[in-house]
Structures are given as C-alpha cells and as structure tokens.
Amino acid sequence: MTKTVQKNLSLIAGLFFIAQSTLAPAASAADFSTDSQSLYHSAANSAEPVIFNGSNAIGSFLAGLIKNDNISVTVKTAAANVERTKNTDKVIDNPEPTVEEIKDYVLGEIKKAGLNVREAEAIVNCESRWDPLAYNGRNSNGSNDKGLWQINSIHKNISDADKFDYKESTKWAIAKRLADGSWSAWSCSRKIAAK
C-alpha cells in the first residue's frame, strides 16, 4: 500500500494545500494554539518533516482522509519519511540510497556469492552508471532494458518493479550469472571481456 501512496504523492501534497487553504481561514482562533502556529512556522522554515497527529485543523483533516487503520501512508521529504499507521505517527530515517550505498550493497552481495567483484562493478557501471532507475527503450528488436542491471524485457521471471529495485535486481542478476556460468547475458560483459 505504501508504494501506491508514494506514487500518488502529488495528490497527497495537493490535498495538504487544499486543506491548508480552506481549513486554516475557517478555523477558529482556538484551533490555532501556540503549538499549531509553531507547526506552520516549522513547516515553512525547516527541511524537517512535519508530523500530523490530529491535534490541529489540518492534521485532523488529513487524519480523516485515512479511514482504514490498516493503511500506511509515507510522505517523503528531503530529510526523512513520515509514516502514519493506525493513528500513530513516526519518523522513519529512510531517505533514498546514495550511489555509494547502492555500490556497497551490490558489491557485498556479489562477494557473498563468490563472484568477481571487479567484473560486476564494471558491468553495472557500463550498463547503468549505477542508476537504479535507468531505462533504455531503444533496442533494435523492440525490447527495453530497466534498472541498475539493465535487465531486458524478454526476462519474464522478474517484474518491472523488481528490475528498478536495486536489491531485487541484484539478487536476480546473481542467480542469472550463477545459472549461466558467465556474464554473457549482459552486452557490457563483451565490452570488458568478463567471463
């Protein structure tokens, strides 16, 4: 459910601004206590996430939008994620991974699998330049390549979502390499003469 909500982040942001513009002027002075005013001040002047707990007009409005206690809503900010689950709010320190974090994970998994780390690093660098969201839709045969490992659309045993997930695509790539006995499934392996 969280991925669905993240895809609709624009809708959530729009609802926030609608709520702010319609509820704020209509709210009584009692609704805007010192805490609420500091919330607005913090939201306007800080990169820190704003956590809505229903104690102010906008928080109450947004809380009312989530009618099912089993729904988890994550709103990404530059600093962190804010998750609302079963009427409790918590900040999750889960920003997008850096290229170094992706490299550390991928090369660690390659090493655990007993494969050549230098070859894998060269292949990923050649295929996607370490961009887990890389996309190539220009193959001469009409196929496309997705993700960190540029997994081709002919491979139906991995979803498109997993092709763009660097952890899942790395698991798939390792299994493919072990099954094939070489990196030959990747065109970049021929460029770097990887076995």
Euclidean distance between CA atoms 12 and 76, whole angstroms? 11
Residue 192 is predicted with a pLDDT of 80
pLDDT at 149 over 70: yes
Q: What is the pLDDT of residues 151-174, one digit of tens each?
A: 999 999 999 999 999 999 999 999
Which range among 89-98, 169-178, 183-192 has the greatest average pLDDT? 169-178
pLDDT at 123: 96
Domains of the chain: 2-92 (no CATH), 99-192 (1.10.530.10)
Please check the confidence at residue 1 and state whether its pLDDT lies above 70. no
- The pLDDT, as a whole number, for residue 78 is 40
Instruction: Report which of residues 166 and 9 the model is more confident about.
Output: 166
Q: How many residues does the chain have?
A: 195
Q: What is the mean pLDDT of the chain?
A: 72
Q: What is the 3-state secondary structure (H, E, C) of the chain?
A: CHHHHHHCHHHHHHHHHHHHHHHHHHCCHHHCCHHHHHHHHHHHHCCCCCCCCCCCHHHHHHHHHCCCCCCEEEEECCCCEEEEECCEEEEECCCCCCHHHHHHHHHHHHHHCCCCHHHHHHHHHHHHCCCCCCEECCCCCCCCEECCCCEECCCCCCCHHHHHCHHHHHHHHHHHHHHHCCCCCCHHHHHHCCC
**Which pLDDT does position 89 carry in this prediction?**
53
Neighbouring-strand partners of residue 75: 82
Q: Residue 17's pLDDT is what?
A: 56
State mean pLDDT over 98-110: 97
| pLDDT more than 90, % of the chain | 46
